[in-house]
Structure formats: C-alpha cells, structure tokens
C-alpha cells in the first residue's frame, strides 16, 4: 500500500489532471466561439483566452513536475515519476497539436475551396487522437502502478 504522503501526491496529481481536462474544454469552447465570430474575428478576446489557458497549463505543469520530483526523491517511486515525465511530454505534444488544429480549422473555414486545408485538419485530428490514446495508456499505467504495493 502507498504511504499516506504518496497517496496525497497521487490524489493531487489526479486533481491537476482534471483541471487540465477542464482547461482543454474551455479552450475548445473559446475557439469555437472565435470561429463563429468570423469572418470579422474577435481576435483580442481569443488572444486573451489563449493567454489564460497558457497560464493555467503552465501552472498545472509546474505543480506536476513538483509532484514528479517528490515521487522520485523522498518517496522512492521512480516508476510513478517516469509515468508523469512521459505524460508531461505527451500533454505538451497534445497542446501543440491542439493549437495547430485550431489554426487549420480557421484556414479551412476561411478558404473552403482549398482542399489542402481540410486535409490538414483531418491529419492533425488523427495525430491528436493518437496522442490522446497515448495519454490514456500512460494514465492507466500510472493508476495500475500507484495502486499496487510500493
């Protein structure tokens, strides 16, 4: 069974991951509203949203890196720390792909006659789905390892 301190770190990680999921939801909603504001886009409002979401993701990442360091160090749970390191890399990739997808969607909306924009949206969506599957697998590995004796 995990020590009480380690259990608290694991619970905090899950809370942060939930915050990250919520931030993505808000980001998607905000981008949808931005696209609906076209063709005279409300860019200042969208830029503010991007700024706020970026700050939220940064804060979440910093705290998860702190949890990773504690798990690695005094808690002796390098296995869990490795899962968090992998997850952070996957989440960084997901955020980059999300930003690329938003730009591609705007290009496809602004230039519906250009098939390459629609193709780009499909390709990025596919990469994003693969990344989300990897994140899910890493979370499963983390859950499994954090529930076994350690």
Domain that holds residue 93: 4-145
CATH number of the domain enclosing 48: 1.20.1420
CB atoms closer than 10 angstroms to residue 75: 19
Residue 100 counted as domain residue: yes
Domain count, the chain: 1
* pTM of this structure: 0.90
Residue 150 counted as domain residue: no
pLDDT of residue 2: 67
Residue 49 counted as domain residue: yes
pLDDT of residue 150: 47
**Contact (CB, 8 A) for 60 and 94:** no
**Contact (CB, 8 A) for 88 and 122:** no
Mean pLDDT per 10-residue segment, the chain (150 residues): 83 97 96 93 93 96 96 92 97 96 96 96 98 98 85
- The whole-angstrom separation of Cα 8 and Cα 14 is 10
Residue 56 counted as domain residue: yes
Q: Give the chain's length.
A: 150
Residue 24 counted as domain residue: yes
């Amino acid at each position: 069974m995990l020590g009480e301190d380690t259990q608290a770190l694991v619970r905090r990680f899950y809370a942060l991951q939930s915050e990250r999921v919520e931030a993505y939801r808000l980001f998607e909603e905000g981008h949808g509203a931005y696209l609906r504001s076209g063709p005279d886009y409300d860019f200042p409002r969208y830029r503010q949203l991007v700024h706020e979401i970026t700050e939220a993701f940064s804060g979440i990442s910093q705290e998860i890196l702190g949890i990773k360091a504690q798990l690695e160090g005094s808690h002796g749970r390098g296995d869990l720390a490795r899962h968090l390191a992998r997850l952070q890399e996957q989440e960084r990739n997901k955020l980059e792909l999300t930003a690329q997808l938003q730009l591609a969607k705007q290009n496809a909306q602004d230039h519906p006659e250009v098939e390459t924009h629609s193709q780009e949206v499909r390709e990025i969506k596919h990469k994003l789905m693969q990344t989300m599957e990897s994140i899910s697998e890493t979370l499963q590995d983390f859950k499994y390892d954090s529930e076994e004796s350690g």
